[in-house]
Structure 1
Amino acid sequence: MADAELCHPVSDFSAEPPPSRGGLTAHKRRCCSGFLHHIPKRLSKGGQIAARRGFMPLSRLPQPVDPAFPKYGYAILRDLSVNCRLSRTDRRALADHIQRADRIGTGVHIMLARLLSQKLLYTPVLEDDRIGPPFVTGGARLTYAIDDLEPRSGHLRHETTPDFGQDSIPVATLLGATLIGMQAGSRAPLLQADGSFRRLWLIGLGDG
Structure 2
Amino acid sequence: MAMSHDLQLIFLGLLALASSLAIATDPTQLQDFCVADNTSNIFVNGFVCKDPNLVNENDFLFKGLNQPGNTANQLGSKVTPVFVTQLPGLNTLGISLARIDFAPYGLIPPHTHPRASEILVVIQGTLAVGFVASNNPDNKLFTKVLKEGDVFVFPQGLIHFQLNIGNTNAVSISGLSSQNPGVITIANAVFGSKPPISPYILEKAFQLDQKTVEILQAKFWTNNS
Is TM-score (shorter-chain normalized) higher than 0.5?
Answer: no
Q: Which has the higher contact order (CA 8 A, sep 6+)?
A: 2
In which range does the TM-score fall when normalised by the shorter chain?
Answer: under 0.3
Q: Which has the higher helix share?
A: 1
Structure number, greater radius of gyration = 1
Q: Which has the higher strand share?
A: 2
TM-score (norm 1): 0.27
